[in-house]
Structure 1
Amino acid sequence: MPLLPPRLRESAPGPMPRDATHERPSPRRRAGGRSGPRRSRAVSGCLAFPLRPADRDVLGLYLLTRIGIWTTAYCTRWLFPTDGKTRDAGSVLAASQQWDWTHYLHIARDGYFPGHAGPWQKGWDNREAFFPGFPLLLRAVHTVIPHWTVAGLLISFAAGAVAVLALARIARLHLPDARAGRRSVLFFLLSPCAIFLAVGYTEALFLALALPAWLAARRHNWPLAATLTALATAVRVSGLFLAAAIVLHFALSARTRRDWRPLPWLALPGLTAALYIWYLHAYTGDWLAWNHAQERGWYRTFHAPWEAWCNTWHVAFAHTQTTGYAFMFQAELLAMLVGLLLFGLLIRQHRWHEAFYIGLSLWALGTSYWYMSIPRATLLWWPLWIALASWSLRKPWFKTIYLCLATPLTTVFALTFFSGRWAG
C-alpha cells in the first residue's frame, strides 16, 4: 500500500465426498464407545495426513500456479525494467522487494520503534499500522534462512499450501460435488490479486490460520478455532472480523448449558489485539496509535459509505489522477460491488455467520476517505470462491467465462506489481 498523493451454495447432484460433512462411524462408536476426542476429528478434517488424492490434486494446481507467477516475475524484470536502457535485469527477487514488504522487513529487522524513532518524527513510515504476526514469524525464519526476502517468500509459499487445502475442505462442506474443492481453489488461485499469495505479504499466512479456524468452528471445536483465530488476528486486523463471525456461529449453534462452556475461549482473538494496542501505547502514549497510523499513511479517516464511494468514483473517472492510479481506483469500485453482491447472496442463503464476516470487512474498507486494498481483500472472502465454484458446477460455461476474463486480469495485476507500478 504505497502512499498516494493527497489530491486525491448448491451444485449439480453428485456423490458426497467422505470428508465433506460426515465420517463413517467406527465399530467402537456404533457400539456406543468414543472414537476419539473432538479436537482430533477437527484437525484431521483440516490437515489430514497422509494426504488424500484430492488434496494432492489441489497441491499440484497450487505448485503449477506458483511456477506461472514466478515465470511472470522473471519476464517482467527483463521486459519492463525501471530503467528502459539498462542491460542488467537484476535479481528476480527484487520484484517482490517493494511496497508493503519493506514495512514488514523493517519491523522484523529493526522493530517498531528503533532508536527512539516514532510517529513524532517527520517522515515516519507509520509501520505500527501493520500487525506483528508476519514480522515476528519472518524474524524467526530468518534465523534459519539468512536472506530476508527468501525467508518471506518461503513463509507465503508454505502458508499458501495450507490455505488451499483448507479452502478445498470448506468447499466440500458446502457442495456435494467431488470437484468442488479443486474448482474453488482454481478460481481462487487465478483471481486477479492472487499475486499477493506469492510474495512476502500477509494474505497467505492469514488464510493458513483463518481457514483452518473456520473448519474447526464448523466442527464445534471452539478452543482450536479460537486459538487459530487469535493467531490470525496477530497477522491482520481482519482476524477480529473472523472472531466476530465465529462468536455468532457459536451463539447460533449452542443449545444446552454444556454447549456454552467453551465461550471463554472465544475471547482469545480480542486478547491478541488488546496486547498489540497496549504495546503501542507503552511506546507512544496513544491508545489509538494503530488507527492514527492508518490515517496518516493511507487516509483511512472515517467517512460515510456514500462519501467514500463518491470520493473513489471521482478519482477513478474524473481524470484527476494519472491513468495508473485511476485504473486501480476503478478496480476498487468493482471489488466493492462484488463484495456487496456476495453479502446479499449470503444473506439470501441464511449463511449469517459468513455474511457477518463479509459485512464487517466491507464496512471497514468502505468507510475511509476512499477505497483502498479491496481487491486484495477479496482473497480473504472464501465464500466468494465457493459461490463461483457452485455456479460453475451448475453451469459449465461459467468456468470458461471466468477463466477468459480473470486470467488476463491476473497477468496484468502481476505485471503491474512486479514492474513497480502497483498502487492499491
Structure 2
Amino acid sequence: MSVISPRSPRSREGTTAVSPPSSRPDPVVRRSVRPRLSAEDRDVLWLYLLTRAAIWTTAYCARWLFPTDADARDPGSVLAPFERWDWGHFLNVARDGYFPAESGPWDADWDNREAFFPGFPLALRAVHTVVPSWTAAGLLISFVAGAIAVLALARVARLYLPDAGADRRTVQLLLLSPCAIFLATGYSESLFLALALPAWLAAHRRNWPLAATLAALATTVRISGLFLAAALALHFVLTARTRADRRPLPWLALPALPAVLYAWYLHSHTGDWMAWKHAQERGWYRQFHPPWEAWSNTWESAFDHVQTTGYAFMFQAELLAMVVGLALAGVLIRRRRWPEAAYIGLSLWALGTSYWYTSIPRATLLWWPLWITLAAWSLRSPRFRTAYFCLAAPLSTLFALTYLTGRWAG
C-alpha cells in the first residue's frame, strides 16, 4: 500500500507502484474532482450528518447536565453552548467591524479582535442578512462548509490511497478526532478546509488559476492560507517541466494579496503594519520564542502545577499535538511528500515559536495529510483502527463537553 503518495491510474487495480506526477492532468484526478455526487460521496455526507446529530445531542445534554449555575431550573438557549471563546471575536467583527466608534488597541480594555482574519466575519455578516440569529448564521456557515470540506477530503484521499473505502475512512477519522467539535461551531476551521482542500485538488489537476484563487480565499479566513500557498508553489515547482507548464506561475502570488490588503487596512487605522501580529502577542502570548523555550514553557504549564487543572490538561493536549505534528512531518519527509511537509512544517513553526503552545490541537483539523496517513495505517492494521476509535471517541466527547460548557478546549 502506498501510504501518502498520489497514485497512478493503475493503482485502483491493486498495484502499489506510484508514477511521478505528469505535466498533464491525471485521469484519476479528473474523476476525483467531478462535481457529481457518487455513491461514495453520499456515504460521506451521511456520515457527516450523523456526526452533526451526535454533536447536537451532546450540546443538548450539556445544557441540562452542566449549567453555569448548579441551581438553575432553565437550561438556557439551545444555541448558548456554541457561543464560546473565539465566537465572540468573530461576532464582534461581523456585527461592529474591527474599530467601532474609533476604539482600538490604544484602549486599555481592547479585545484584540484584529488578530482574526476577515473571511469568516464577512461570510457571517452576509449570511446574517437572511438568518436573523447571529449564532445560527455562524453554525450554518460551518455546517455547509463542513459538508464541502469532507467531500473534498474524501476526493483528496482517493488520490493517495487505492483501497476501497479509504475515502470514507479518512473522513471518519477526521470527524471523530478529539477536536472535531470545532468543525461544528461558529469557528473558521470548516470554512478554511472548504476552500483549502478544493485548492489542493485543483493543483493536482494543474488548474493553477483555480487553485490560487481558492488559496487566496482561504487566506482571507486564516493565516494558514499562506502555508497552503507555499505548499502549492512547491508542488508547482516539482511538477512544471515545460515552458507551457510554467505559464501559470504569476497566479501563485495571488494568495498573498489578501494578507497584504488586510495588513494595509489595519495600518490605515492603527499606523502599524504589524497590527495583526501585535494583536496576537497581546492577546495570546505569541511573541517569538525559540522552539525549545516554547516547549519548556508549555511543559511547565502542563505538569508543574502552575495552572489550574483544566488549563493544565489542555496544555498537556498541546504538547501531544505538537509531538503528533512533528511525527507527521517526519513521515512526510521520509515519503518525499515535500509540498505536504512544507505545509505542516510551516504550521508547526508558527504554532511552536510562541511563549507557549496555543491551539495546536485545533490546528490538527487542518492537517489533511494526517488523516490520510492514519487512514492508510488503519486499513493496513485492524488493531490500529480499533485502538484509534477506542481512544478518539471518549476524547472527542470530552473535548466537545469542555467547549460546550464554556471551558478552554484547545
Q: TM-score, normalised by structure 2?
A: 0.94
Tell me the residue number matched to 2:88: 102
Matched, 1:10 2:2: yes
Matches within 5 A, 1:313-392: 313-392=299-378
CA contact (8 A) 1:319 1:326 kept: yes
Tell me the residue number matched to 2:135: 149
By how many angstroms is 1:257 displaced?
A: 1.1
By how many angstroms is 1:46 displaced?
A: 3.0
By how many angstroms is 1:47 displaced?
A: 5.3
By how many angstroms is 1:98 displaced?
A: 1.5
For residues 28-60 of structure 1, give each alpha carbon's deviation from its aligned partner in whole angstroms, at most 9, with x where no partner exists. Answer: xxxxxxxxx97x9978743512x1000000000
The 2-side partners of 1:181 and 1:90 are apart by 39
CA contact (8 A) 1:47 1:165 kept: no
- Among 26, 29, 33, which residue is 1:46 paired with? 33
The 1-side partners of 2:337 and 2:221 are apart by 26
The 1-side partners of 2:112 and 2:155 are apart by 38
- The answer for unaligned runs of 5 or more in structure 2 is 14-23
The 2-side partners of 1:44 and 1:212 are apart by 14
Matched, 1:137 2:123: yes
Q: TM-score, normalised by structure 1?
A: 0.91
Matched, 1:402 2:394: no
**Aligned-residue RMSD, C-alpha:** 2.0
The 1-side partners of 2:141 and 2:240 are apart by 36
- The answer for unaligned runs of 5 or more in structure 1 is 1-8, 19-36
The 1-side partners of 2:12 and 2:192 are apart by 27
Do the aligned partners of residues 329 and 399 (structure 1) sit closer, same or farther apart at CA in structure 2, a change above 3 Å counting? Answer: same
Tell me the residue number matched to 1:121: 107
Matches within 5 A, 1:190-209: 190-209=176-195
Runs of 4+ in structure 1 displaced over 4 angstroms? 15-18, 40-44
Question: What code does the residue aligned with 2:107 have?
Answer: Q
The 2-side partners of 1:235 and 1:252 are apart by 27
Tell me the residue number matched to 2:234: 248
Tell me the residue number matched to 2:72: 86
The 1-side partners of 2:169 and 2:263 are apart by 40
The 1-side partners of 2:261 and 2:30 are apart by 27
For residues 162-206 of structure 1, give each alpha carbon's deviation from its aligned partner in whole angstroms, at most 9, with x where no partner exists. Answer: 000011111111111021100000000000000000000000000
Tell me the residue number matched to 1:281: 267
CA contact (8 A) 2:215 2:229 kept: yes
Question: What code does the residue aligned with 2:317 have?
Answer: A
The 2-side partners of 1:268 and 1:380 are apart by 21
Question: What code does the residue aligned with 2:47 have?
Answer: L
- Among 218, 239, 250, which residue is 1:232 paired with? 218
CA contact (8 A) 1:42 1:216 kept: no
Matches within 5 A, 1:165-184: 165-184=151-170
The 1-side partners of 2:30 and 2:222 are apart by 23
Tell me the residue number matched to 2:55: 69
Equivalent residues, number: 396
Does the residue aligned with 1:402 lie in a helix, a strand or coil? helix
CA contact (8 A) 2:32 2:159 kept: no
By how many angstroms is 1:91 displaced?
A: 1.4
By how many angstroms is 1:411 displaced?
A: 0.3
Percent identity of equivalent pairs: 72
The 1-side partners of 2:218 and 2:34 are apart by 17
